[in-house]
Amino acid sequence: MKGLVIINTGSRYQVRTEDNRDIEAKLKGAFRLKDIQSTNPVVVGDIVELEEHSDGTALITAIEDRKNYIVRRSSNLSKQSHILAANLDQVFLIVTVNYPETTTAFIDRFLATTEAYRVPAKLLFNKTDRYDADDREYLAGLMRLYQTIGYDCFRLSATEDADFSELTALLKDKTTLFSGHSGVGKSTLINRLIPDSQQKTKAISEYHNKGMHTTTFSRMLCLPEGGYVIDTPGIKGFGVFEMEEGEVSHYFPEIFKFSHDCRFHNCLHRNEPDCAVRTAVEQHFISESRYKSYLNILDDKNENKYREAF
């Protein structure tokens, strides 16, 4: 029997079977012994094989091949990965320029990962009702930057905006991951989209201007108009995983575009002569913030470290 993993608490799973039943499941003992470099070998969105028991519980015996997934470096075990969700049609990174702040370094690392694992990504700028004039100006600049690169950007206030029709249309009949820092409003947004979901929400810490965790496990929810949205715990840092040094530029579309004009085909765009990428940065065809993010990822690879702050 097959099923779709809709809840992962870390110790147990809830699986929706082909005949539309939700059952509790655990991993079969031998499954844990396989050489899996992930802190969570089964994730929300996985299609799994089940061995059902008479008491209504089940064992997960196998996972079907994934069409894609989003993965980051585990913050506790730097040589392992943590997969956020699998088999996605798209991901929305929920961004706030304040309350709390989402840095461009975090955004760029997340987007590089979506490029690497072939998951279409969009940016959703939330909490616009709270921004002052400086925040709004910065928001406009960020949206111009990422739209120029090719990413769709949207802005809203999950607590105040009355019209969610554009977002609802984009989510219809798709499996969508919502991700971002704690406190950016993922759960509030989901409560607006799915009124009976009853996702817990909590105000951010005003002293530290950082979000506090309210979502403690990953969960897939049905949208009224069709499709699924996946809510995940907030992410503090985003360490990229399994990116070879020479491939990092491939995951920055504008850097990859200019790299074709570099003198050396294996140019890393650091100090090499006749580097078209560095020239494009100097001429403002590539933003300095994006170039800095690219270099920071290279530094991670060279120094074998995980920069949690990003």
The answer to whether position 292 is within a domain reads yes
Same domain, 75 and 55: no
Same domain, 218 and 266: no
Same domain, 24 and 56: yes
* DSSP assignment string, 235-283: -S--B--S--GGGGGGGSHHHHHHHTTSSSTT--SSS-TT-HHHHHHHT
Question: Among candidates 151, 143, 116, 91, which has minimal Cα distance to 239?
Answer: 116
CATH number, domain at 92? 3.40.50.300
Q: Which pLDDT score, from 0 to 100, does residue 199 have?
A: 53
How far CA 98 is from CA of 2, 14, 116, 129, 192, in Å, comes to 43, 35, 28, 11, 21
Same domain, 22 and 94: no
Q: Which pLDDT score, from 0 to 100, does residue 88 have?
A: 97
Which structural domain range is residue 260 located in? 245-303
The answer to whether position 18 is within a domain reads yes
Same domain, 213 and 150: yes
Q: What is the enclosing helix (H) or strand (E) of 303?
A: helix 288-303
Global pTM?
Answer: 0.86
CA distance 89 to 149: 20
Q: Which pLDDT score, from 0 to 100, does residue 216 have?
A: 65
Name the packing angle between helices 104-116 and 288-303 (round to 10°).
70
Q: Which pLDDT score, from 0 to 100, does residue 73 have?
A: 77
Same domain, 97 and 165: yes
Angle at 90 between CA 205 and CA 48, to 5 degrees: 100
Same domain, 59 and 76: no
- What total number of domains does the chain contain? 3
Q: Which pLDDT score, from 0 to 100, does residue 135 have?
A: 94
The answer to whether position 237 is within a domain reads no
* Structural domain ending residue among the three candidates 63, 90, 107: 63
Same domain, 23 and 76: no
Q: Which pLDDT score, from 0 to 100, does residue 211 have?
A: 43
The answer to whether position 309 is within a domain reads no
The answer to whether position 30 is within a domain reads yes
Q: Which pLDDT score, from 0 to 100, does residue 237 have?
A: 66
Same domain, 177 and 112: yes
The answer to whether position 236 is within a domain reads no
Same domain, 263 and 283: yes
The answer to whether position 308 is within a domain reads no
pLDDT under 50: residue ranges of the chain? 33, 201-213, 303, 306-310
Same domain, 218 and 118: yes
* Structural domain ending residue among the three candidates 43, 63, 83: 63
Does the bond joining 273 to the residue before it have cis omega, within 30 degrees of 0? no
CATH number, domain at 264? 1.10.40.50
Burial of residue 129 (CB within 10 Å: 0-12, 13-18, 19+) is exposed
* Structural domain ending residue among the three candidates 198, 231, 264: 231
